[in-house]
Amino acid sequence: MSELTHLHPMDQFYLAFGKAMAAWGEVEYGMSIWFMLCTGLPYDVAKELFFSPKSYSARSDLFTAALDTAGGTAHVWFPSSVSPRLDPHWLDFVAAGRNKAIKYNSVRNKLAHGVMHPSRSSASDTEWRLKEPAEWQRTEGFTQTQLLVISRNFRELSSILRISYLAQTRNEPSEPFVRALLELPNDADSIELSEMQKLAISKLSSGSPPAKFP
């Protein structure tokens, strides 16, 4: 892809913003196919159910309920004799993917409700930032560089979710995707891993699975 430096700085900023928002849609698609697997419903039915709530937090609640049944948790309407759809390793991975998406959604909300606002970086230059109204007089807000980081992290999470789904249907191990998820920053606008993530990756490299996803 050629450099789009010929675009006006405002248009370059909007392009970065659009990439991030489009990438979030891919995350939700990845969650929806795992929701299909967890519920055992055909995708046409599962996607209508998953996307019926307007907020992602409500969709995440639906996903959590589906994880319970996929792991064999008994309910009044779910006989204990029914075999779980996911083994414990895949179940832990999918739960961690859900948790990562919940963390990333907090940034997605800021994108959805933010407004492009100029911040003076010098006497002659303007640095555009995406800010919530309460931040207009302060230095907070997402820069264009941060928007591109957010877009990359969203897209990486969606890729992990989609490819891992295919791997699970082929009875492949979850370990490569566990590592990929651990190597993805917990903060959507960051390129840095937390110390707990680094420790978990170190344990995984030594052959010891992490006690829990950080």
175 within a domain of the structure (yes/no) = yes
Q: Is residue 112 situated within a structural domain?
A: yes
Both tokens assigned to 81: 């004799």
- The reply to whether 210 falls in a domain is no
Q: Is the pTM of this model over 0.85?
A: yes
Give 116's pLDDT tier (boundaries 50, 70, 90): confident
pLDDT of residue 213: 76
Residue-number span of the structural domain to which 31 is assigned: 9-205
Residue 2 lies in a domain: no
Residue 148's Cβ-count burial label (10 Å; 0-12, 13-18, 19+) is: middle
Structural domain contains residue 201? yes
Asked if the model's pLDDT at residue 96 lies above 60, the reply is yes
Helices (H), the chain: 9-39, 43-50, 56-70, 88-113, 144-169, 175-182, 195-205
- Closest C-alpha to 30, from 164, 187, 183: 164
Residue owning tokens 């046409």: 44
- In a domain, residue 192? The reply is yes
Q: Kindly report, residue by residue over 130-140, the tens digit of the pLDDT.
A: 988 777 777 78
Q: What is the pLDDT of residues 144-157, one digit of tens each?
A: 999 999 999 999 99
Is 1 inside a domain boundary? Answer: no
Residue 211, domain member (yes or no): no
**pLDDT score recorded for residue 127:** 81
Residue 73 has pLDDT above 70, yes or no: no
Longest Cα separation, the chain = 71
